[in-house]
Chain A
Amino acid sequence: MRFGVVVFPGSNCDEDCRHVLTDVMRQKVRMVWHKERDLSGLDCVVLPGGFSYGDYLRSGAIARFSPVMKEVIAYAKKGKPVIGICNGFQILLEAGLLPGAMLRNRTLHFICRPVHLKAETDQTPFTNRIRKGTVLTLPIAHNEGNYFADPKTLEELEEGEQVVFRYCDPKGHVTDEANPNGSLRNIAGICNPKRNILGLMPHPERASETALGSEDGRKIFESLMSA
């Protein structure tokens, strides 16, 4: 597969994504500078984590106006897979490709630590290799990961089985205690109704090698590769 990793000014997980996709998953990667407009030949676009434009104003709020985003929106509308990780997820929300918004974590702190996630659906190109109910361990690292949406949107997400990951305890119980940031319904990741756009706060690229303590993140990339 050929992945495109978008580089915004202030992205800082772009290189980590490139490393995992090329050195670990053995796939081809093109780094796409945010001023570029050409996404041709890419099988999947990755919006990586970081602090695009310093997250000044609001996370992802400025990045959505980068020239490349017009192309990302068109690319996604064609049904091709787009994955936004952490800041990438925030950009997807700001761009309107996914519903909802991010509030500050309820602790009012940045939080960096591994969390448990319950995979809620295997009906996406990102999770087709992860059986429903599987508990994954992936790290989070964010200040604004407290997912918020109005009740109607939440109902639509649930009905459409668009909630892809929820924060849970090691046994897979979705509890308030296992919710690190206060996200509504413990939401950690969602997809669009067409299921080709995934946004998630945890970092799969940080958990794809034994040396880093978890390989659960690979399952997301493996799913994409077998989709």
Chain B
Amino acid sequence: MERSDITHLRELNPPKLNAKAIQRRRSTKAVTMTTATPEREIKEIARHHGVTDEEYQKIVSRLGRVPTVTEIGMYGVMYSEHCSYKSSKPVLRLFPMEGARVLVKAGEENAGVVDIGDGLAVVFKIESHNHPSAVEPFQGAATGVGGILRDIFTMGARPVALLNSLRFGDLSKPRVKQLLKGVVSGIAHYGNCIGVPTVGGEIAFDESYEGNPLVNVVCVGVVKKKDLVKARAKGAGNPVFYVGAATGRDGLGGASFASRELTETSEEDRPAVQVADPFLEKLLLEACLELIQSGAVVGIQDMGAAGLTCSTCETASRGGTGIEIDIAKVPRREEGMTPYEVMLSESQERMLIIVQKGREQVAERIFRKWDLHAARIGQVTRSTLLRVTENGGLAAEIPATSLTDEAPVYQRPAKKPAASKEKIRLDEIPQTDLTESFRTLLASPTIASKAWVYEQYDHMVQTNTVVLPGRGTSAIRLKGTKKFLAMTTDGNGTHVALDPYRGGMMAVCEAARNLVVAGATPIGLSDCLNFGSPEDPEIFWQFKECVRGMAEACRILSIPVTGGNVSFYNESPKGAIDPTPIVAMVGLIEGFQPVTGDFKEEGDAVILLGKTQEALGGSEYLKVAHRHKIGSLPEIDLMQEKALQRFLLSEIKEGRVKSAHDLSEGGLAVAAAECTFMNPERRIGVLFEEEAFPKMRTDCFLFGESPSRILVSVAEKAADSFCQRAVRAGVFAVRLGRVGGDRIQFGKKIQLPVEEAEQIWKGSFHELLGR
């Protein structure tokens, strides 16, 4: 192993040692220091970088000396929660990660990879960009999209779809409107420009997200298995290229920023938010894919969180090698940048590419073709050290794995909240006017049409979107095959707040159900776990319980977790957000068209699959019609869920199902209404017979949110046998009525013209946000 002489280490313009400035990670001005920084100060700097005294001691003993300021900065970002998963790692091990189709497991690379046959694989991942979006919604959301795209195409996959899951506070408030507008235009700006369709996702509103909105983005890519590229630095002597945008001081310490709670002064962190350049990324995307085709690539990693530090130490760790770089060769867009700043910058649209020695010219020709700036900044070495020099002077020399695999892991204390949420008995909730409640639900921003949002996204580019947003589960075709990919994101914070274990199960089940209604078999999931501070034992308990529930559901439904992201510290001065796991799931359809949710034909029988419980806990109805966010969640039986999904899939494969729609927020009434107007070219009414209603409170039946339920329509003459087969499969089925007319009729309880219901549902966003 190499061991450098410590006397060669010298500080190259360390940042100004103003404690306050470092605390805010805004240390942009540099002063030249002639003497090495005393250890007392280094220790203090370490603390300001979130490195505990104990962690500091370990670093000192690992290095065998006092680290430099640059090194402390590098350890600081790599040991941040965002990069190290130091709190979540032990809990995430609960997730089942194995599966017959899994080619690259969670954590092995930048994204998981799942085999879909015919030599093809799907690469997908979800990631959060909550904190940047709270501070600067447009750039925060845009760079979130840019980052997740890079994770996918650096593996050799062409991105074929984007989705996003957004959470905001009360949409009637001006600040929330501003945030929503900013986030939506940021997502549109990036996705539209780069030419990857934004095909789906979901948005929900709840006061808990008031000061801390959630912006979770998903990218799905497709790759020929033989073209898969890994983010590894292999082969001593192979050159390391830096490609893309020049390095500036933007996003300095973004990973650390993401690992703190939002406070009143977070706006001052705006320099920690990066600026997006989707055009440059489009060039990088095309160049990377062309480069991979040329066979000259050894490994690629994007520079996301922790920039150059993370990309170098991770590729070296995975490859079991070392890397040495000369940062004097790093293209810069600002003068006087210190090694600390260069190593920690999170400027966007940059890549680290390791090229086969001798094939440099192939790579350089491709970069030139795409007008990309590329610089050879170093090489892979036989050691296992990450060595950073500048003009011959040593700025950092760290064993690569000490930044990655050896990062600290904590068993955080978890404590069940003494009095979990206040309970409410059903008989304490009055039955309000059903029609009025129905209208209120349709207009509720969480339920109302999101056309105002998705029409700002190019959801058709690449000409594969066979199920457009708003028409059911998003699905794209894979040209040249008989395959379709269905995709969804789901997660209900209110549910998890009330019961994290059950809520976690429900999130996974709902996502799977959303795929199954399209006829897709779920093949993998990526999760984004948005929680408050893990240092709060009650929040950490929520986190553990939620993951336990999710993992349990994954095991029963046989869906492997192929990757994901944990976002802690989602807190504003008002407190933590509702714990919100977002499940991004991909499903495969082979040989038949995806099923959509809209009712198809007059006279078709409408059947409700799954049992309705007399419960309202956690429902949107309780929230918007009664202003309660309490109560017990309905129960969920994973075996029932599994039977339901299996049965529906087999019926769809037999071509017996005309429409299928999952029941979620707003329950049966909202789902049925959506089926009537989901297809603007074929609006059609529905009639439920009151005799078919079970014996329970009507509001529970119509608006309750019992899980594991699906509303389907089948041909009239096939209805009886359909129900019989359901019962034989252990699935509860009740024939509620039929498709037809131009009204939504739930017995005599609710009667509303389809057109009127649609106007309420469609008008809500426009009323709140303008045209």
A→B interface (CB under 8 Å): 9-10, 12-13, 15-16, 19-20, 23, 49-51, 53-56, 107, 109-113, 139, 141, 143, 203, 205-206, 209, 211-213
**Can you offer 29 A-B residue contacts whose CB atoms are under 8 A?**
A9-B282, A10-B193, A10-B282, A10-B283, A12-B193, A12-B195, A13-B461, A15-B462, A19-B463, A19-B479, A51-B279, A53-B279, A54-B282, A55-B279, A107-B771, A109-B185, A109-B455, A110-B458, A112-B192, A112-B457, A112-B458, A112-B459, A113-B451, A141-B461, A203-B460, A205-B463, A209-B463, A211-B466, A212-B466
A215 to B221, CA, bound (A): 27
Chain A nearest CB, measured from B464 CB (Å): 8
A51: chain B residues within 8 A (beta carbon): 192-195, 278-279, 282
Overall SS of chain A's interface: mixed
Write the chain B residue with the least CB distance to A13.
B461
Residue from A9, A54, A109, A212 within 8 A of B463 (CB atoms): A212
**Separation of A143 and B457 alpha carbons in the complex (Å):** 10
Q: Residues of B with Cβ closer than 8 Å to A?
A: 185, 188, 192-195, 277-280, 282-283, 370-371, 451, 454-463, 465-466, 468, 477, 479, 771
Rounded to whole angstroms, the CA-CA distance of A176 and B185 in the bound complex is 25
Assess A111 versus B455: contact at CB under 8 Å? Given A51-B279, A51-B282, A54-B279.
yes
Given contacts A110-B192, A139-B460, contact A54 B278 (CB under 8 A): yes
Residues of chain A lying within 8 A (CB to CB) of residue B277:
54
User: Chain A contacts of B479 at CB under 8 A?
Assistant: 19, 23
Which chain A positions have C-beta within 8 A of B468? 213
Residues on the A chain within 8 Å of B192, using CB: 51, 110, 112, 141, 143
Which of chain B's residues have a CB closer than 8 A to the CB of A20? 463
Closest residue to B192 on the A side, CB-wise?
A: A110
CB < 8 Å: which of A12, A56, A107, A143 contacts B194?
Answer: A12
Q: Is B771 a contact of A16 with CB atoms below 8 Å?
A: no
Q: Is the CB of A16 within 8 A of B282?
A: no
Contacts of B457 in A (CB 8 A): 110, 112
Q: Is the CB of A13 within 8 A of B195?
A: yes
Which of A12, A111, A209 touches B456 (beta carbons < 8 Å)? A111
Q: Please determine whether A141 and B193 come into contact, CB atoms closer than 8 angstroms.
A: no
Tell me, rounded to whole Å, the shortest Cβ–Cβ distance linking B281 to chain A: 10
- B771: nearest residue on chain A (CB-CB)? A107
Our pick among A9, A16, A19, A111 for the contact of B283 (Cβ within 8 Å) is: A9
B461 neighbours in A (Cβ, 8 Å): 12-13, 16, 49, 141, 206
CA distance A13 to B197 in the complex (A): 11
Whether A141 lies near B458 (C-beta < 8 A) is yes
Q: Within 8 Å CB of B458, what residues of A?
A: 110, 112, 141
Chain B residue nearest to A35 (CB atoms) is: B369
Q: Which residues of B contact A141 (CB under 8 A)?
A: 192, 458, 460-461
Given contacts A9-B370, A50-B195, contact A16 B462 (CB under 8 A): yes
Collect the chain B residues with CB atoms within 8 Å of residue A10's CB: 193, 279, 282-283
> Known: A19-B479, A51-B279, A141-B192. Is A9-B371 also a contact (CB below 8 A)?
yes
B195 neighbours in A (Cβ, 8 Å): 12-13, 50-51
Please name the 3 residue pairs, one residue from A and one from B, whose CB atoms are nearest each other, closest first.
A12-B195, A54-B279, A51-B193
Residues of B within 8 A of A56 (CB): 279
Residues in B with CB closer than 8 Å to A203 are: 460
Chain B residues, Cβ within 8 Å of A16: 461-463
**19 further contact pairs, Cβ within 8 A, besides A16-B461, A51-B194, A111-B456:** A10-B279, A10-B283, A12-B194, A15-B462, A23-B479, A51-B192, A54-B193, A54-B282, A109-B185, A109-B456, A110-B185, A110-B188, A110-B456, A110-B457, A112-B454, A112-B458, A206-B461, A212-B460, A212-B466
Q: Which of B457, B463, B466 has the most CB of A within 10 A?
A: B463
Tell whether, in the assembled complex, residue B477 and residue A211 are in contact, meaning their CB atoms are under 8 Å apart: yes
How long is the Cα–Cα vector from A113 to B465 in the complex, in angstroms? 12
Give the residue of B278, B283, B451, B465 whose beta carbon is less than 8 angstroms from that of A212.
B465
Q: Which residue of A lies closest to B184 (CB)?
A: A109
Contacts of B463 in A (CB 8 A): 16, 19-20, 205-206, 209, 212
Taken together as a complex, chains A and B put the C-alpha atoms of A141 and B454 apart, in Å, by 11
Q: Which residue of A lies closest to B278 (CB)?
A: A54
Contacts of B282 in A (CB 8 A): 9-10, 12, 51, 54
In the complex, residue of chain B having the shortest beta-carbon distance to the beta carbon of A24: B463
Cα–Cα distance between A209 and B454 once the two chains are bound (Å): 22
A-chain residues with CB within 8 Å of residue B185 when the two chains form the complex: 109-110
Q: How far is the CA of A203 from the CA of B192 in the complex (A)?
A: 14
Q: In the bound complex, how far is the Cα of B283 from the Cα of A56, in angstroms?
A: 14
Set of chain B residues within 8 Å of A205, measured between Cβ atoms: 463
Indicate the member of A23, A49, A213 with the most B CB atoms within 10 Å. Answer: A213
Residues of B within 8 A of A211 (CB): 466, 477
Complex: A53 Cα to B280 Cα, angstroms? 9
Q: Which of B194, B455, B477 has the most CB of A within 10 A?
A: B455
Bound-complex Cα distance A20 to B767 (A) = 39
Closest to A50 in B: B195
A80 CB to nearest B CB, Å: 26
Most buried by A among B283, B456, B458, B477: B458
User: Within the complex, what minimum Cβ distance (angstroms) separates A226 from chain B?
Assistant: 23
Instruction: Report Cα–Cα, A45/B195, bound state, in Å.
Output: 21
Cα–Cα distance between A221 and B303 once the two chains are bound (Å): 43
For the complex, give the distance between the alpha carbons of A55 and B771 in Å.
24
Q: Is the CB of B279 within 8 A of A112?
A: no
* CB-CB nearest in chain B for A139: B460
B477 closest partner in A (C-beta): A211
By CB atoms of chain B within 10 A, which of A56, A112, A139, A206 has the most? Answer: A112
Within the assembled complex, what's the spacing in Å between the Cα atoms of A49 and B460? 12
Q: Are B370 and A112 in contact (CB under 8 A)?
A: no
Inter-chain CA distance A141–B371, complex, in Å, is 27
Docked complex Cα distance between A173 and B194 (Å) = 35
Residues of A with C-beta under 8 A to B194: 12, 51
Determine the chain B residues whose CB is within 8 A of the CB of A107 once the complex forms.
Answer: 771
Most buried by A among B194, B460, B462: B460
Q: Which residues of B contact A206 (CB under 8 A)?
A: 460-461, 463
Bound CA span A56–B282, Å: 13
